[in-house]
A and B are shown apart, each in its own frame.
Chain A
């Protein structure tokens, strides 16, 4: 039933209903210096290549509106619609129509909204003709233009949506020399230390016999313990532990040290005689 109705409607519109149309379409791109380019178009045949529009130029569209209904060739709506096929944004320019149906639309570059402009953006041009009553309106694609925008395109409007992700870029970690090189140098230093001790021993070491070695032994032991305390601090003990240890060890080192060195001086003086 519905198909039947549609068929009837189609027949009616094809036979009885008159339709708007246009012919003799032409697009002229002009500058102050003169005409740059002229293209022709019709309802069924848009101009083939997109036409560049320099930013000082004007696109002049001319066409003749025809009506199959007698009496009028001046429709209520005669627009040139310029739209951006990627964003879906559009704008319309009303035509100046004379009584005989001649229509003209002059699109200056500066009249095209900024939102439609971008570097080498192709804009579609459509002519829309329609009016009140039963006459069938027409919307016809007539070709594309490329407005040559100088400078940057307008920034896109703020819209609420997910934003691009950001990942923090860390500063590079410090770079270290190779372990083997460090080991070579450390080994050289250790060898140097051993060499020094070796030289001392080579020069002659004569152990002495003490009457009372207590102070000297106490002094050297305290020194070794202090070194050990420093080592512990280096490895990770707190400074407060080191201070406590030093507070105990320092008086011992002082007392035993003065005695030991006094003995040593006495011995050295007596041996020097």
Chain B
């Protein structure tokens, strides 16, 4: 009986684990570093949304002595949600720039939420600068005299109402179908972005907004930190190893108050943004890669050698992770490069057939008339989607001595070939004449 109970419990545990791990491709352990200044009940809806998705939340304070991103060199969490204290104090040695970078390098995902009052600490600022995200100066404010929230800040103009139709990254957060939906930005600053191609801006400030320093620019803004659409409220970054990092300019964006405003899109925005960052959506996987000679369907797949001017068929299949399972990923911009130092071909693959989990793409081409070591390179780097890179090296050999056109097929060679035939024939005739003609010696001797 006890054994049976144990077995059932184990089975249940396994089912639970497999269910939980299917939420995100990287795992479900989330560390929420909640600063004591932020009350958990002000963010109850956001946190319960995370919890109800099956994520395993550990809500801790930065002062917690047991807080650590690594244990014995292994990640202790899969994702980190990091808020900032309102005053300038350190987050502790475990959340410095280096541990955070190491965490991202080890495949962990990070959401960094700046405090609406003070914004960023030196350690977080250092971390951001390494990723080409320039956080604002202390105490700066984002204001817009055109699109402010008339109820929330009639005079200071620092609470903004944004149009979610202007969202910049459809693979991260798609614009809502409801055009009346509004995104409430209840105050805070914004940051500037460098020219790093890995950065995907998600939400930019309106054209007329600007960031000013209330302490320095009391009367007029003469040296704004950033203006207009060059100031960003939310931006994401995906490293080349597919770790995801998101910067959010204000913690108030996720507050219950912002969620409960009329026509608020904030809740869906927070859900989609954390889903993306925690690798729960827009995750791609290369299911299969194959290449072979076009005319010869019986040859083994992926041979290591081809000849120049061979016709080659190439096929890949891609899957996309969404809501806990894999689906076919269909696009019209998947490209194959056939390279030796430089690409000799760059071909857009066309979708062919699909299975329940994967979409197949194929193309055919003629190997270039250049022998050497070539690679089939599939590099699918698109903002907001997992970076996919596959490289297969093959030899392309030149023609064998018996693979060139024969001389009888070349008109230029016909005079030469006929000369040889005539000489050989004439020689045989000559030998015949030499052997079998002459004066008949028998008659003479008689």
A79 neighbours in B (Cβ, 8 Å): 210, 227
Asked if B145 CB lies within 8 Å of chain A CBs, one says: yes
Docked complex: B303-349 residues within 8 A CB-CB of A: 309, 333, 335, 337-338, 343-348
Establish whether residues B428 and A90, one from each chain, have CB atoms under 8 Å apart when the complex forms: no
Q: Is there a chain A Cβ closer than 8 Å to B92's Cβ?
A: no
B152 within 8 A of A: no
Contact of A205 with B220 at beta-carbon distance under 8 Å, contacts A90-B228, A157-B195, A162-B348 already known: no
Per the bound structure, the CA–CA distance linking A165 and B347 in Å amounts to 6
A216 to B431, CA, bound (A): 10
Chain B: minimal CB distance from A166 (Å): 4
List of A residues within 8 angstroms of B143 by Cβ: 77, 132
Contact partners of A159 in chain B: CB under 8 A: 197, 383
> Are the C-beta atoms of B439 and A271 separated by less than 8 Å?
yes
Task: Judge whether B414 and A186 touch: CB under 8 Å.
Answer: yes
Chain A residues with CB under 8 Å of B441's CB are 208, 267-268, 270-271
B58 at the interface (CB under 8 A from A): no
Q: Give chain B's interface residue range (CB within 8 Å of chain A).
A: 35 or more
Task: Kindly name the residue among A79, A92, A178 whose own CB sees the greatest number of chain B CB atoms within 10 A.
Answer: A92
**Interface members, chain A 113-170 (any B CB < 8 Å):** 128, 130-134, 137, 139, 157-168, 170
Give Cα A260 to B197, complex, Å.
89
Name B374-426 residues within 8 Å CB distance of A.
381-383, 410-412, 414-415, 417-419, 422-426
The residues of A that contact B219 with a CB separation of less than 8 Å are 74, 76
Q: Is B335 touching A162 in the complex (CB atoms < 8 A)?
A: yes
Asked if residues B433 and A205 are in contact (CB atoms below 8 Å), the reply is yes
Q: Is A81 an interface residue (CB 8 A)?
A: yes
A250 within 8 A of B: no
Binds B, one of A41-49, A51-59, A191-199: A191-199
Taking CB atoms, residues of chain B closer than 8 Å to A96 are 222
Contact A130 to B428, CB < 8 A, known contacts A78-B220, A90-B228: no
B412 near A177 (CB under 8 angstroms)? yes
Q: What is the CB-to-nearest-CB distance from B278 to chain A, in angstroms, rounded to a whole number?
A: 22
**Chain A residue at minimum C-beta to C-beta distance from B382:** A160
Instruction: Kindly state whether residue B292 has any CB partner on chain A within 8 Å.
Output: no
Asked if A185 lies at the interface with its beta carbon under 8 angstroms from chain B, I say yes
The answer to whether the Cβ of A202 comes within 8 Å of any Cβ in the partner chain is no
Q: Does B40 contact A (CB under 8 A)?
A: no
Distance to closest chain A CB from B97 (angstroms): 25
Residues of the A chain whose Cβ atoms lie less than 8 Å from the Cβ of B223: 94
Per-residue B-contact encoding for A220-259, CB less than 8 Å = 1, 0 else:
1001100100100000000000000000000000000000
Inter-subunit contact A165/B346 (CB<8 Å): yes
Instruction: Decide yes or no: A92 and B227 within 8 Å by CB, A160-B381, A164-B346 being known contacts.
Output: yes
**Once the chains are docked, how many angstroms separate the CA of A208 from the CA of B445?**
14
Q: Is the CB of B440 within 8 A of A139?
A: no
Rounded to whole Å, the gap between the CB of A133 and the closest CB of chain B is 6
Inside 8 A of A94's CB, which chain B residues have their CB? 220-224
Shortest CB-to-CB span from B159 to chain A, Å, is 13
Cα–Cα, bound, A16→B309 (Å): 79
In contact, B438 and A206 (Cβ under 8 angstroms):
yes
A134 interface neighbour in B154, B382, B435, B440, Cβ under 8 Å = B154
Distance in Å: Cβ of A23 to nearest Cβ of chain B? 19
Q: Is A61 an interface residue (CB 8 A)?
A: no
* Per-residue contact bits, chain B 202-223, to A (CB 8 Å; 1 contact, 0 not): 0000011010100001011111
Any A CB within 8 A of the CB of B54: no
The docked-state distance in angstroms from the alpha carbon of A91 to that of B224 is 11
From B145, B344, B415, B426, give the contact of A185 (CB < 8 A). Answer: B415
A133-B146 contact in complex given A168-B344, A193-B422, A208-B436, C-beta closer than 8 Å? no
A183 and B414 contact, CB distance less than 8 A: yes
- Cβ distance B184 to chain A, nearest Cβ, rounded Å: 19
Residues of A within 8 A of B229 (CB): 88, 90
Tell me if A264 is interfacial: C-beta within 8 Å of chain B.
yes
B156, B195, B430, B436 — which one has the most chain A CB atoms within 10 A of its CB? B436
Chain B residues with Cβ under 8 A from A209's Cβ?
Answer: 440, 442
**Chain A residue, CB-CB nearest to B347:** A165
A214 CB-CB contact with B under 8 Å: no
Which residue of chain A has its CB nearest to the CB of B145? A130
Known: A90-B207, A94-B220, A193-B422. 10 other contacts (CB 8 A): A91-B230, A92-B210, A132-B145, A160-B197, A162-B335, A162-B348, A183-B414, A185-B418, A186-B418, A200-B429
- A/B interface sample: 8 pairs, CB < 8 A: A74-B220, A76-B145, A79-B227, A91-B230, A94-B221, A97-B220, A165-B335, A177-B412
Chain B residues near A (Cβ < 8 Å): 143, 145-146, 154-157, 195, 197, 207-208, 210, 212, 217, 219-224, 227-230, 309, 333, 335, 337-338, 343-348, 365-366, 368-369, 381-383, 410-412, 414-415, 417-419, 422-426, 428-442, 444-445
User: Closest 9 CB pairs between A and B?
Assistant: A130-B145, A193-B422, A186-B418, A162-B333, A92-B227, A182-B411, A166-B346, A137-B145, A182-B414
